[in-house]
Amino acid sequence: MIQRMGSDAPEAPCTVVLVGFMGAGKSTVGRLLARRLGLCFVETDDMITAREGTSIPEIFTERGEAHFRALEASVLDALGDKHGHVIATGGGFPCRPGVMERLKALGTVVWLAAEFDALYERESRVGGRPMLAGRSREEAAALYEVRKASYSQAHLAVDVSRLGADAAVSRILRYLRERERAKRQAAGVGSRPIP
C-alpha cells in the first residue's frame, strides 16, 4: 500500500519523469515530489553508476560520451520496471530521437525549464559536469537551445528560473490533480472530490 504524505497529492499512483538541462534542480524537485506523492525516487544517472560501479565523470573520461549515451539507452529499456516512481533523468537523456515519446508512454513528463543564465549560474556553482568541461558559455547556451526541442515535448513545463523547489513541486501536484480530474470526468467516473 502506497502511503501518501501530502493532503494535496493526487489519488492514483503515477509515474512522473523529470527532464531538463543541467542545473534545473531535477534531483531536488524529484526527491521532494516523490515524498509528497509517497512514491519511490530514482535517477537515471544513479542507475548508470550503480551498474558500472564508477562515477559519471569517470565514464566520460575513460569510455567517452558515446559509451555513456549507450548506457542511457539501456537504462531507458529498464525504466518500464519503474512504474509508480518519480524519475529524474540526466540532462541529455531525453534528447535522442524517440526517447521523449517513450518517456511519455511511461507517465507524466515534466520539463523543469529555466532561462539559460539561471541554469549556467547554478551549474557553475556546483561544477563536476563533464558536458560543460571544455565548453564555453556560448557553446553551453547553444546546446541548451538544441535540447529545448526535446524538452518542450513534455506534458508540462515549469519555469524554475525564479521558483524554489517547493513551489515547483506544488505546481506539478496541481497539474497531476487537474489531469486526474479530467481523466475521471472523461471516463464518467462520478465527481469524487480530489484532496
Positions in 62-121 near ligand S3P (CB under 6 A): 90-92
127-146 positions binding ligand S3P, by CB under 6 A: 129-131
Q: Nearest to residue 109, comparing CAs of 173, 156, 169?
A: 156
Closest distance to ligand S3P from the beta carbon of 149 (Å): 15
Q: What is the nearest approach in angstroms of ligand S3P to the Cβ of residue 69?
A: 8
The residue (of 48 and 176) whose beta carbon lies closer to ligand S3P is 48
Smallest distance, ligand S3P to C-beta of residue 153, A? 17
Distances (CA, A) of 103 to 36, 75, 138: 21, 12, 29
Looking at the Cβ atoms of 112 and 172, the one nearer to ligand S3P is: 112
| DSSP states along 80-121 | GG-TTEEEEPPTTGGGSTTHHHHHHHHSEEEEEE--HHHHHH
Q: Which residues bind ligand S3P (CB under 6 A)?
A: 22, 26, 45, 56, 90-92, 129-131
